[in-house]
């Protein structure tokens, strides 16, 4: 299991071979600028001109006086960017398909309304009190249809371009970010001069560089070595050895969080080669990435840490977690699925910064995981497809759209899984279908739970893999032909009940839930 730890580097002084000094940040800026230029040229050669990579490695190492490890680091960072871009392109294709479908669905509905409104207007004399109101409604429908048709055309053009790029293997990358690139065309609106924009642009394109680690290298990284004395030794490219020497050494580099895991990586283990069986010392690979942000340079060090053993017990029960806009509903059940305990953990997701929302959600999940550690029970959560839901934001209410767009909603599953792995808690993702409806009808009144607590109980019971879905109550709840509905599968029965349940008012729901049974 790979984990990444970060520390801020001090802007000390580097002594050159001629005994002059240069700030560390200035050296990093020069290093990142030079390596960024090489990376962009490599992108053109590999992904535009399609040159063979083996030939390019020899050529680049000779022309730019790089070591083989430095070239590999540049190539690996570039491959990561390209891989990420390809995945984003696939996501954009899926999103655009969904948007086209939703737009066509909207158009079909509005065109039918327009035709109906037109037929009504044709039959009217023109002196009716509601005539002008219907005319205005008709005009609004025409305008809405016109704008949606324009949007549909734009989406279709975008879809054609994305599919063509994917088919032809075209990768479109803007080093320095597209957003900043387009600011040069709107300098007055962004309160910038061209010189200021160019300076920001060059800094953005020289804001990071990476050294890839390997387990067969001393201390896990030959180009950027972090030794037992916590000194960071950075390999200088051969071109600048006459000025800086072979290495740049930074002393007293400490990580506030994760130092013990990094120290373990420095301790070698003895292995044997496959052929002759010679003894070899192996380390854990330490990949070092230097990032410039907020006027400081940071070191991100990635290391493979030991995955903790699972501490939860089988057949001991389950803890269900239901995610909501501002709190987590948690319900604990025993191994038979009976209720044990329920509680809520609030967190802040709105009207705070992204970092504050992230920390608040992290603290809330930590409380849930701590409870699971004490109870030695696995955690069950809903396996939600946030990407598909976000594609339908315009078709949702303002509250739902705000919730889906929030940081916490998209980060919940990954953060929960990460924390469970860290503390050895088994985590189970379950089908989210009809958890709220089943909880309201089966457990809310029985155990005196809230609707969210009862939904969490359904999630926990599903995590236990109980054989049967809860039976649908038929007392005055299912309208129409009950016999034909009850012949369907349980999930189909709950689907039909959920459709009918939406037609009830809040008061009617309370009446049915608390007085029918």
Query: Mean pLDDT across the stretch 234-242?
Result: 90
* Cβ-contact 235, 224 below 8 angstroms: yes
Task: Give the mean pLDDT of 66-88.
Answer: 92
Which tops the pLDDT comparison, 399 or 349? 349
Per-residue pLDDT band at 286 (split at 50, 70, 90): very high
Q: Look at residue 77 and tell me whether its pLDDT is greater than 60.
A: yes
CATH number of 318-470: 3.30.420.10
What's the pLDDT score for residue 467?
Answer: 66
By three-state DSSP, how is residue 357 classified?
helix
Other beta carbons less than 10 A from residue 288's beta carbon: 22
Q: Is the pLDDT of residue 366 over 90?
A: yes
Tens digit of pLDDT for each residue in 447-460?
A: 989 989 999 999 99
Q: Which of 262, 245, 244 is nearest to 253 (CA)?
A: 262
- The pLDDT of 304-322, averaged and rounded, is 88
User: Could you give the C-alpha distances from 506 to 231, 261, 324, 454, 510, in angstroms and in order?
Assistant: 65, 54, 20, 17, 6
Q: How far is Cα 409 from Cα 386, in angstroms, rounded to an integer?
A: 8
Is it the case that residue 515 has pLDDT exceeding 80? no
The pLDDT of residue 306: 82
Q: Where are the domains of the chain?
A: 318-470, 472-517
Say which residue, 472 or 184, is predicted with more confidence. 184
The mean pLDDT of 299-306, rounded to a whole number, is: 91
Q: Are strands 318-323 and 427-430 parallel, antiparallel or unpaired?
A: unpaired
> Which residue would you say has higher pLDDT here, 496 or 390?
496
pLDDT of residue 403: 57
Structure tokens at 292: 């410039």
Q: With 70 as the cut, is the pLDDT of residue 407 above it?
A: no
Q: Which residues contact 307 (CB under 8 A, 6 or more apart)?
A: 1, 421
* Residue 283, pLDDT score: 87
Q: Is the pLDDT of residue 197 over 70?
A: yes
pLDDT score for 484 = 67
Per-residue pLDDT band at 480 (split at 50, 70, 90)? low
Predicted confidence (pLDDT) per residue in 173-196, tens digit: 999 999 999 999 999 999 999 999
**How confident is the model over 216-245, as a mean pLDDT?**
91
Is the per-residue pLDDT at 256 higher than 80?
Answer: yes
Handedness of CA 364, 365, 370, 376 (dihedral sign): positive
pLDDT over 70 at 393, yes or no? no
Share of the chain above pLDDT 90, in %: 58
Any idea which residue has 């992290």 for tokens? 362
> pLDDT value at position 147?
96
pLDDT at 329: 95
| Confidence check: pLDDT of 108 > 60 | yes
């Amino acid at each position: 299991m790979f984990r990444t730890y970060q520390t801020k580097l001090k802007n000390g002084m580097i002594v050159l071979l001629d005994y002059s000094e240069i700030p560390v940040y200035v050296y990093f800026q020069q290093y990142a600028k030079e390596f960024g230029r090489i990376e962009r040229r490599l992108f053109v050669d590999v992904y535009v001109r399609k040159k063979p990579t083996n030939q390019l490695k020899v050529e680049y190492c000779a022309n730019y006086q790089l070591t083989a490890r430095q070239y590999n680091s540049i190539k690996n960072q570039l491959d990561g960017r390209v891989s990420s871009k390809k995945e984003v392109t696939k996501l954009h294709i899926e999103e655009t398909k969904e948007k086209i479908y939703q737009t066509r669905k909207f158009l079909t509905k509005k065109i039918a309304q327009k035709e109906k409104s037109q037929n009504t207007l044709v039959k009217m004399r023109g002196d009716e009190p509601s005539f002008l109101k219907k005319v205005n409604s008709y005009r609004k429908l025409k305008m809405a249809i016109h704008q949606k048709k324009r949007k549909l055309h734009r989406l279709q053009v975008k879809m054609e371009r994305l599919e063509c790029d994917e088919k032809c293997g075209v990768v479109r990358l803007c080093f320095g970010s597209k957003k900043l690139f387009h600011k040069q065309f709107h300098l007055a609106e962004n309160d910038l001069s061209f010189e200021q924009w160019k300076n920001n642009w060059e800094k953005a394109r020289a804001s990071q560089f990476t050294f890839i680690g390997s387990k067969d290298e001393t201390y896990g990284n030959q180009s950027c070595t972090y030794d037992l004395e916590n000194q960071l030794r950075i390999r200088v490219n051969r071109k600048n050895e006459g000025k800086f020497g072979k290495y740049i050494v930074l002393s007293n580099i400490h990580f506030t969080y994760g130092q013990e895991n990094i120290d373990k990586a420095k301790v070698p283990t003895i292995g044997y080669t496959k052929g002759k069986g010679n003894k070899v010392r192996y380390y854990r690979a330490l990949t070092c990435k230097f990032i410039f942000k907020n006027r400081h340079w940071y070191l991100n060090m990635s290391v493979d840490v030991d995955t903790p053993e699972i501490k939860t017990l089988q057949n001991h029960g389950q803890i269900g977690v239901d995610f909501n806009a501002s709190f987590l509903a948690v319900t604990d059940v025993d191994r038979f699925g009976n209720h044990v305990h329920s509680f809520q953990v609030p967190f802040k997701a709105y009207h705070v910064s992204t970092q504050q929302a992230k920390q608040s959600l992290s603290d809330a999940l930590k409380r849930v995981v701590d409870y699971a550690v004490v109870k030695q029970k696995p955690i069950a959560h809903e396996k939600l497809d946030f990407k598909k839901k976000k594609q339908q934001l315009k078709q949702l209410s303002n509250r739902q759209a705000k919730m889906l767009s929030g940081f916490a909603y998209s980060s919940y599953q990954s953060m929960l899984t990460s924390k469970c792995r860290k503390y050895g808690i088994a985590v189970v993702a379950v089908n989210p279908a009809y958890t709220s409806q089943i909880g309201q009808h089966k457990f809310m009144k029985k155990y005196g739970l809230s609707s969210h607590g009862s939904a969490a109980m359904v999630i926990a019971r599903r995590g236990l893999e109980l054989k049967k879905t809860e039976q649908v109550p038929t007392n005055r709840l299912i309208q129409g032909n009950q016999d034909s509905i009850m012949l369907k599968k349980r999930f189909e029965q709950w689907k039909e009940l959920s459709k009918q349940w939406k037609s009830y008012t809040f008061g009617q729901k309370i009446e049915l839930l608390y007085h029918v049974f």
